[in-house]
Structure 1
Amino acid sequence: MAELAGDVSGAASLLPPVFDDACELNAIPRDFETWPVHEPHSGGNLDAVRASLRAAACHGAWNWPDKPVVFVSDPHADADGFLRSLVTAGVVRRSSGRLSLTPFGRTAKIVVGGDCLDKGPSNLDMLDALRDLIDSGTDLHLLAGNHDLRLRLAIRALTLPRSTLTEHLFVRMGRKILPLLREVRTRFVTAADLAKVPDERTCRERIFPSKGWSKAFPAEAAAYLTSAGIEKELRKLKKKKKQFARQAAAENLSMREVYAAALRCSDLFLASGGAYNWFYSSMDVVTRIGSLLFVHAGIDDAMCTLLSEDGADAVNSRYRREAEKDPFAFYTGPVANLVRTKYRPADLCLTEDGVCRLHQNGIKMIVQGHVNNHRGQRILSKNGLLHLEGDVTLDRTSRLLEGLPGIGAGATMIFPSGDVVGLSSDYPKAKHFKPEQHF
Structure 2
Amino acid sequence: MMPAPENTEDLLPTILGTRAASLGVPENCVPWPLDMNHSGGSTPDQTAKILKSLRKSGEYGQWRWPKRPVVFISDLHADAESLVRSLVAAGVVQRHENDADGFDLTDFGRSCVLVIGGDCLDKGPSNLDLLNSLKKLIETGVRLKLLAGNHDLRLLLGVRALTSDRSPLTEHMFIRMGNKVLPLLREVYDKHVAPANELESVPDLETCRDRIFPSETWQRDFPEAAAEHLGEAAIQKELRRLKKKIATFEEASLSAGLDMRMLYAAAMKCRELFLAPDGLYAWFYDRMRAIYKTGSVLFVHAGLDDHICAEIDENGVSHINQLFREQVYQDPFTFYSGTVANIMRTKYRAVDKQLSSQGVERLHRAGVKILVHGHVNRDRGQRLKTMKGLLHVEADITLDRNSRKIEGLKGIGTGATIILPNGNIVGFSNDFPYAKVFTPEIHMTKAALQHDGT
TM-score range, shorter chain: over 0.9
State whether residues 179 and 252 of structure 2, in contact with CA within 8 Å, keep that contact through their aligned partners in structure 1. yes
Which of these residues, 307, 316, 323, is aligned with residue 312 of structure 2? 307
Which of these residues, 354, 368, 372, is aligned with residue 367 of structure 1? 372
1:405 aligns with 2:406: no
1:59 aligns with 2:60: yes
Q: Secondary structure at the match of 1:375?
A: coil
Give the aligned partner of residue 35 of structure 1.
Answer: 32
Which of these residues, 145, 148, 151, is aligned with residue 141 of structure 1? 145
C-alpha distance in 2 between matches for 1:13 and 1:173: 40
CA apart distance, 1:96: 2.8
Q: Secondary structure at the match of 2:188?
A: helix
C-alpha distance in 2 between matches for 1:363 and 1:136: 31
State whether residues 168 and 222 of structure 2, in contact with CA within 8 Å, keep that contact through their aligned partners in structure 1. yes
Q: TM-score, length-normalised on structure 1?
A: 0.96
Unaligned runs of 5+ in 1: none
State whether residues 17 and 27 of structure 2, in contact with CA within 8 Å, keep that contact through their aligned partners in structure 1. no
Which of these residues, 148, 151, 158, is aligned with residue 154 of structure 1? 158
Over 3 Å counting, the alpha-carbon distance change for 1:285 and 1:88 in structure 2 is: same
Give the aligned partner of residue 10 of structure 1.
Answer: 10
1:4-403 paired onto structure 2 within 5 Å:
8-17=8-17, 25-44=22-41, 45-97=46-98, 98-190=102-194, 192-403=197-408
Identical aligned pairs, as a percentage? Answer: 51
CA apart distance, 1:17: 3.3
C-alpha distance in 1 between matches for 2:399 and 2:237: 30
Please list the CA deviations of residues 320-370 of structure 1 after superposition, one character each: whole Å capped at 9, or x if unmatched. Answer: 111100000011000110011011111100001100000011100000011
CA apart distance, 1:312: 1.0
Give the aligned partner of residue 417 of structure 1.
Answer: 422
Please list the CA deviations of residues 86-131 of structure 1 after superposition, one character each: whole Å capped at 9, or x if unmatched. Answer: 1110110111342101111111110011111111100001100111
One-letter identity of the residue aligned with 2:39: S
Unaligned runs of 5+ in 2: 445-454
CA apart distance, 1:403: 0.4
CA apart distance, 1:192: 4.5
CA apart distance, 1:271: 0.8
State whether residues 418 and 434 of structure 1, in contact with CA within 8 Å, keep that contact through their aligned partners in structure 2. yes
C-alpha distance in 1 between matches for 2:14 and 2:88: 15
State whether residues 294 and 366 of structure 1, in contact with CA within 8 Å, keep that contact through their aligned partners in structure 2. yes
CA apart distance, 1:246: 2.1
State whether residues 117 and 123 of structure 1, in contact with CA within 8 Å, keep that contact through their aligned partners in structure 2. yes
Q: Secondary structure at the match of 2:253?
A: helix
Please list the CA deviations of residues 394-421 of structure 1 after superposition, one character each: whole Å capped at 9, or x if unmatched. Answer: 1111111100001110011111111111
One-letter identity of the residue aligned with 2:131: L
C-alpha distance in 2 between matches for 1:375 and 1:264: 38
CA apart distance, 1:19: 5.5
CA apart distance, 1:16: 4.8
CA apart distance, 1:211: 0.8
C-alpha distance in 1 between matches for 2:243 and 2:13: 55
Which has the larger displacement, 215-224 or 183-192? 183-192
Measured on the aligned residues, the alpha-carbon RMSD in Å equals: 1.5
Please list the CA deviations of residues 261-289 of structure 1 after superposition, one character each: whole Å capped at 9, or x if unmatched. Answer: 10110010011010000000000010011
C-alpha distance in 2 between matches for 1:189 and 1:94: 32
One-letter identity of the residue aligned with 1:345: A
One-letter identity of the residue aligned with 2:296: S
State whether residues 18 and 90 of structure 1, in contact with CA within 8 Å, keep that contact through their aligned partners in structure 2. no
CA apart distance, 1:193: 2.2
C-alpha distance in 1 between matches for 2:232 and 2:418: 43
C-alpha distance in 2 between matches for 1:336 and 1:95: 39
One-letter identity of the residue aligned with 2:159: I
CA apart distance, 1:30: 1.5
Over 3 Å counting, the alpha-carbon distance change for 1:431 and 1:221 in structure 2 is: same
Q: Secondary structure at the match of 1:325?
A: coil
One-letter identity of the residue aligned with 2:138: I
Over 3 Å counting, the alpha-carbon distance change for 1:207 and 1:26 in structure 2 is: closer
Q: TM-score, length-normalised on structure 2?
A: 0.93
CA apart distance, 1:243: 2.1
C-alpha distance in 2 between matches for 1:243 and 1:335: 30
C-alpha distance in 2 between matches for 1:48 and 1:180: 42
Give the aligned partner of residue 448 of structure 2.
Answer: none
C-alpha distance in 2 between matches for 1:18 and 1:81: 18
One-letter identity of the residue aligned with 2:62: A
CA apart distance, 1:18: 5.1
Q: Secondary structure at the match of 2:312?
A: helix
C-alpha distance in 1 between matches for 2:357 and 2:19: 45
